[in-house]
Structure 1
Amino acid sequence: MGCDGGTIPRRDELVRQKKKAEVKDKNAANMAKWRHCTLKHDSLKRPIVVDSHGLLYNKDAILEYLLDRMQFEHGPSYIKKLKDVKELQLTENPSFKLNHNDLGNEYLDVYSSPFICPLTGLEMNGKYKFCAVWTCGCVLSDRALRSVNNNNNTTDEKLSCPKCGEEYSSNDDIIILNPENEDIILMEERQQRLNANQKKNGSTKRKLHDLEEDTNGKKIKIDSTANTDVPSSSSTTVTNKNISTNKVNTTKIISTNKSTNGKTSIQQDSTKSDLYKSLFTTSDAAKKKEQNKAHWITYNPLYY
């Protein structure tokens, strides 16, 4: 039974101590990011998309999230439309086998990945940093992008994708997949720059729109080279046309107001019969009848 025959128990055997928190396996947690969807935690299957923060999703899961957000407790609030994610152009790993160790008689490589870098051949398993180009969706390793950019020796921000050849910006179009530590800060700074640029573009578009529109809603072309001191013949003709159209509109409004104000009452209409006029309280006969009646259910304003 214990504690007999000269045994010396230890303190942890007699006193209940607090259980230590379970330490997660970093390798397993890292592999889960690259193998499973961030939203539904299913295995990643094509088509695979990425958001502005570098997280990976199944496209089907994003469509379900956009259609019904109430199904997901912890969904990305910054994804409001399908344009907020980008479909990835991945390169398959020819040596990857999904179910090759069903019998348990073979070595199972946990770090084998179904996708690789097309230039360096590195597997996308979390050991190496991978990036995606937002304009085209191509996925490459960070090592490949740096080597290509160094070989080009270009100081311009516009570069060409080494996989498809499409141009992209070296600052705003590169997204780090599943960022960690310092990479998270870089992704946040990138998102802040994009938001600031969108606000600037929206303000400039509004200013141009306000300058082009006239008070009547008609667009006017503004020439910067024209002399504002000397009025030209074309400008005078345009203003005369606007004045004439305003006059026509005001005359129409006045005529309609007169027609509405000039309506005759039913009692003064000669086309109506006396029997029809007597149905309304505006007739003299109805006024005389109602003055002598007092309603106890409803209020009679004609009774006095």
Structure 2
Amino acid sequence: MGCDGGTIPKRHELVKGPRKVEKVDKNAELIAQWYYCTLSQEQLRRPIVACELGRLYNKDAIIEFLLDKSSDKSPVQAASYIKSIKNVTELNLADNPAWNGDKGNTKGDKYDDIQCARFICPVVGLEMNGRHRFCFLRNCGCVFSERALKEIKTEVCHRCGVPFQEEDVIILNGNKEDVEVLKKRMENRRLKSKVGKKSKKCKSAELVSQQDITEDSPGPSEVKTAKGDMNTNFGERKQIVFTKSTANGSSSTSGKVSKVLAGTTKRSIADREEKSEAYKSIFTSHSSAKRSKEESSNWITHTAYYF
């Protein structure tokens, strides 16, 4: 029984050590991130936009994604947080003079340098191929290498001169830590915008209500003019009535004057009784102003101001 016919080896005898995990090619990963759109997987072409997490997209792909309102729309994690075109920024990129484009290798007989990037940093000159960290500014969309911002510290954009803060700098295709920091900034920014919109709506509603109140209630100048008009109208009416009474030659002027005063003024009898005797003596209806027929002069001497 010497195993002359041979034996079948078992799996643990053939496999030596732990099974190796297949590694993703770094070059292929960098090319996918920096040369192709994250949403449509097409080659990047101008206009190129970037989201608040630093991912690159073609602008037309974002517009198509936002306009697609169909129910069978497949959920895309790479663009689930993009709700409007305001959530992306159009990038202001600097062309690489050493890049020939797709026309250089049409026949396939020329070496195609994959590492040659289409865009570069306008300050330092580093190529935007994923080997170096790049970032952009949310305010203006200008793209620079992180080395340029660290070496030349300033609060103004190197290219267009727009002021910016540290929160406005977004890393392009950053690592997991960078993405987490950018997510927190994005959430805080959107919360602030919501609170600001609510406060603006409240202020606008208050302004509208105040305008309605001011339109309904007359101002002090309008009240004064109304009172002046009433006084002038009262004087005119009083004078006209007196001239008519004198023209007719009526002797009972006190009775007519009291009727005019009762018609024009809206004062009650109780208010008149509360006044003092000195105030009452001003009016012709007072007992001191009354005259007998003997004391009254001839009708020829009557004037418009005769009481």
Which category describes the TM-score, using the shorter chain as reference length?
0.5 to 0.7
2:27 alignment partner AA: N
Instruction: Provide Cα deviations, 1:259-280, integer angstroms capped at 9, x if missing partner.
Output: xxxxxxxxxxxxxxxxxxxxxx
Q: Counterpart in 1 of 2:156?
A: 160
Distance 1:67 1:12, change over 3 A: same
2:83 alignment partner AA: K
Q: Counterpart in 1 of 2:195?
A: 200
2:152 alignment partner AA: V
Instruction: Provide Cα deviations, 1:249-296, integer angstroms capped at 9, x if missing partner.
Output: xxxxxxxxxxxxxxxxxxxxxxxxxxxxxxxxxxxxxxxxxxxxxxxx
Q: Counterpart in 2 of 1:85?
A: 88
Q: Counterpart in 2 of 1:135?
A: 139
Distance 1:119 1:201, change over 3 A: same
Structure 1 residue 218: Cα displacement: 2.2
| Residue ranges of structure 1 left out of the alignment (5+ in a row) | 153-158, 222-231, 241-304
Structure 1 residue 7: Cα displacement: 10
Instruction: Output aligned runs, 1:14-33, within 5 Å.
Output: 21-33=21-33
In the alignment, the residues of structure 1 paired with residue 109 and residue 90 of structure 2 have an alpha-carbon distance, to the nearest angstrom, of 37
- Provide the identity percentage: 41
Cα pair 1:54 1:178 within 8 Å, conserved = yes
Distance 1:209 1:62, change over 3 A: same
Q: Counterpart in 1 of 2:66?
A: 66
Distance 1:10 1:27, change over 3 A: farther
Cα pair 1:65 1:72 within 8 Å, conserved = no
1:195 alignment partner AA: R
Distance 1:14 1:102, change over 3 A: farther
Instruction: Provide Cα deviations, 1:17-36, integer angstroms capped at 9, x if missing partner.
Output: x9865321123212210010
Structure 1 residue 86: Cα displacement: 1.4
2:202 alignment partner AA: K
Structure 1 residue 12: Cα displacement: 7.0
Q: Counterpart in 2 of 1:171?
A: 166
- Give the secondary-structure state (helix, strand or coil) at the position aligned to 2:209: coil
Structure 1 residue 107: Cα displacement: 4.5
Q: CA RMSD in A?
A: 3.7
Structure 1 residue 128: Cα displacement: 1.0
2:206 alignment partner AA: L
Distance 1:204 1:95, change over 3 A: same
Q: Counterpart in 2 of 1:276?
A: none
Q: Counterpart in 1 of 2:204?
A: 209
Cα pair 1:65 1:71 within 8 Å, conserved = no
Structure label with greater radius of gyration:
2
- Give the secondary-structure state (helix, strand or coil) at the position aligned to 1:172: helix
- Give the secondary-structure state (helix, strand or coil) at the position aligned to 1:218: helix
In the alignment, the residues of structure 2 paired with residue 13 and residue 35 of structure 1 have an alpha-carbon distance, to the nearest angstrom, of 46
Shifted more, 132-141 versus 196-205: the winner is 196-205
Distance 1:10 1:175, change over 3 A: same
Distance 1:26 1:204, change over 3 A: same
Q: Counterpart in 2 of 1:269?
A: none
Instruction: Provide Cα deviations, 1:109-156, integer angstroms capped at 9, x if missing partner.
Output: 33211000001010111111111111211111111122222xx4xxxx
1:31 alignment partner AA: I
Instruction: Provide Cα deviations, 1:209-233, integer angstroms capped at 9, x if missing partner.
Output: 2332328x72759xxxxxxxxxx96
| Residue ranges of structure 2 left out of the alignment (5+ in a row) | 227-307
Is 2:176 aligned against 1:181? yes
Please give the TM-score of this superposition, normalised by the length of structure 1: 0.60
In the alignment, the residues of structure 2 paired with residue 49 and residue 106 of structure 1 have an alpha-carbon distance, to the nearest angstrom, of 31
Instruction: Provide Cα deviations, 1:19-56, integer angstroms capped at 9, x if missing partner.
Output: 86532112321221001000010110111111111111
Is 2:100 aligned against 1:97? yes
In the alignment, the residues of structure 2 paired with residue 104 and residue 8 of structure 1 have an alpha-carbon distance, to the nearest angstrom, of 50
In the alignment, the residues of structure 1 paired with residue 183 and residue 151 of structure 2 have an alpha-carbon distance, to the nearest angstrom, of 25
- Structure having the larger proportion of residues in helix: 2
Please give the TM-score of this superposition, normalised by the length of structure 2: 0.59
2:187 alignment partner AA: Q
2:220 to 234, 240, 243: 234
